[in-house]
Amino acid sequence: MSNYKIVYYTKIIYNEIKMNKLLQINSVVNSGSTGRIAEEIGQIAIAADWESFIAYGRHARKSQSESIKIGSDWDIKWHGLQTHLFY
């Protein structure tokens, strides 16, 4: 018996697929006029095989785009207080 090892190497070839991405920033998702406009733009992008993301700060309703929450409720209240006092 010999002490030879047979090693098989598998070469994996990945097809490079570039995915277009759309990021929209809005205060709300799918609510109010600008939220609905952002949602509709996202739906058009998804229909064209794009990834769609909506970053929002306040209210989010169900969306076909991926929603990304920015900040917290504390941030919203703090910025509101600053605006009320200094502007």
Whether this model's pTM surpasses 0.85? no
Residue 69 lies in a domain: yes
Q: Give me the amino acid identity at 69.
A: K
Residue scoring higher pLDDT (13 or 66): 66
Structural domains counted in the chain: 1
Residue 67 falls within a domain, yes or no?
Answer: yes
User: Quick check: is 14 in a domain?
Assistant: no
pLDDT tops 90 at residue 56: yes
Q: In what order do the strands lie in the sheet with 66-69?
A: 21-25, 51-56, 66-69
Whether 80 is covered by a domain: the verdict is yes
The neighbour count for residue 9, using CB atoms within 10 Å, is: 4
CA dihedral 34, 26, 84, 72 (to 10 degrees): 140
Residue 16 domain flag: no
Distance of CA 38 to the CA centre of its chain: 12
- Determine the structural domain holding residue 42 and report its residue range: 21-86
Mean pLDDT of 53-82: 91
3-state secondary structure of 60: strand
DSSP conformation class of 53 = E
Per-residue confidence (pLDDT) for residue 17, from 0 to 100: 64
Answer whether residue 65 is part of any domain.
Answer: yes
Helix or strand or coil: residue 9? coil
Between residues 76 and 35, the one the model is more confident about: 35
28 within some domain:
yes
Q: Is residue 3 part of a domain?
A: no
